[in-house]
Chain A
Amino acid sequence: MPVTVRTFATYSEAAAVLSSDRAARYLGGGTLVMRALNEGDISISTVVRASDHILKRIEATGPRVTIGAGVTFAQILSHRDLAFLHAAARSIGGPAVRNMGTVGGNLFAPNPYGDFTVALLALDATVAAQGGLGARDMPIEEFLQSRERQAGQLVLSISCQRPASPDAFRYRKVTRIRPKGGSVITIAAHLPMSGGRVVGARIALGSMAATQIRAKAAERALEGRPLDASTIAAAAAAAVEGASPANNALGSSWYRREIVGVHLRRLLSGQE
């Protein structure tokens, strides 16, 4: 069924339409919205776009990194200053999907997708969005918890603190086939160290609940401790706490519960 396509020069015009029309959906890279249209999703009657260059901007020179919602994974991969996000960006789709899919769209990608968002969740990212009541910044965790209600907002950018060292941020997407496959489990770990101890640990999981979640029990097991074998074992044992894993063709809920600790242990101990 044909839909109305509305393209605006500025993000604020696009945001105004999104917030006032329930059947309007913002089109980023197309990997979610065009797919829905191809499947005959009748809940979408208007497709909104914005050609605003602000949505494509990357600010990555300082300790805090801001990425426009319309930035593609290919653009992240070609940006040297975003090396800490390259593993997560490379794990998305094949080359065509990386040329199309955007950072902002990934926030809305349901299981088994949304791997990049797992990395952003472990980095305590902030989501800047424009809604009917104006612009606001929201912690990514809060954004994800209320994701169903965020469709009327236009995400403008995502920002996060750059990890102190390459080793302080780790990412792993467990798939059945390589190099490309849907996520069985996706894990990101931010492990800031201070005086040989982990301070402010963040563990984020994909495919372990309806949206990406933090493994807070595992974070507590790491907090204030050196990253040694016994700490890692305790975190791995706690990884499944609070999870309600996806049950799909890529893996059963039971299987995900069984292996999440194994892969977290490997990630934390630096094993392949």
Chain B
Amino acid sequence: MSKTALQFRHNGREVAIFVDGGTNLLVALRELIGDMTPKFGCGQGTCGTCSVLIDGELHLACLTLAETAAGHAVETLDGLKHGPDLHPLQRAFAENFAAQCGYCTPGMLMAAKALLDRNPSPTRADVVEAISGNICRCTGYEPIINAVLDAASGGRARA
């Protein structure tokens, strides 16, 4: 079976890889590009921990055929930080104890980024809806919701 050449933007950088037919974007990112920030959880689209942005829209990498990303811009959690500086969402997650085991965190952060990029001042209900496709089994969601609200207001919401 022949491989397919595939080129797309990964966190602002052009990448080119060869994929087997049917390879999903999560496998391409983790195994071929070496970006381990999107996680494999369920492989069914239930848990959300593989969430990435494609052209700014939230997608599940495990259910995305890798070659459909050709020519598009894929953003993962790895693209959020700038050198040693955390993204405001990452800082808010740390300050609000929004990560416990941390497995859902990459997906939560990308879902939160997708929300804030469109709606910089969301309501609590907006946040709940935005992360509704992401399962967390540790925190009970409250610290995550608070962290996203905090990041949205630059820390003013719960100061």
- Interface residue ranges, A against B (CB under 8 Å): 1-5, 7, 27, 29-31, 34-35, 37-39, 47, 49, 74, 93-97, 99-100, 179-180
What are the residues of chain A within 8 A of B4 when measuring CB–CB?
5
User: Interface size for chain B: under 10, 10 to 19, 20 to 34, or 35 or more residues?
Assistant: 20 to 34
Interface of A is mostly: mixed
Q: Are A97 and B24 in contact (CB under 8 A)?
A: no
Chain A residue nearest in CB terms to B128: A179
Q: Which of A3, A7, A30 contacts B63 (CB 8 A)?
A: A30
Assess the B65–A27 pair: CB atoms within 8 A: yes
From DSSP, what is the main secondary structure of chain B's interface residues?
mixed
Contact status B45-A31, CB under 8 Å: yes
Provide the B106-147 mask, 1 if CB < 8 A to any CB of A, else 0: 000001001100000000000011111110000000000000
Give B residues with C-beta under 8 Å from A: 1, 4, 20-24, 43-45, 48, 51, 57-60, 62-65, 67-68, 111, 114-115, 128-134
A30 proximity list for chain B (CB < 8 A): 60, 63-65, 68
Contacts of B22 on A, CB cut-off 8 Å? 1-3, 5, 37, 47
B45 pairs with A4, CB closer than 8 A: no
**Which residue of chain A has the shortest Cβ distance to B134 in the bound complex?**
A94
Asked if A100 meets B64 with Cβ closer than 8 Å, knowing A4-B1, A4-B21, A179-B132, the reply is yes
Residues of A within 8 A of B58 (CB): 95-96, 99
Q: Is there an interface contact between A100 and B21, defined as CB atoms closer than 8 Å? A: no
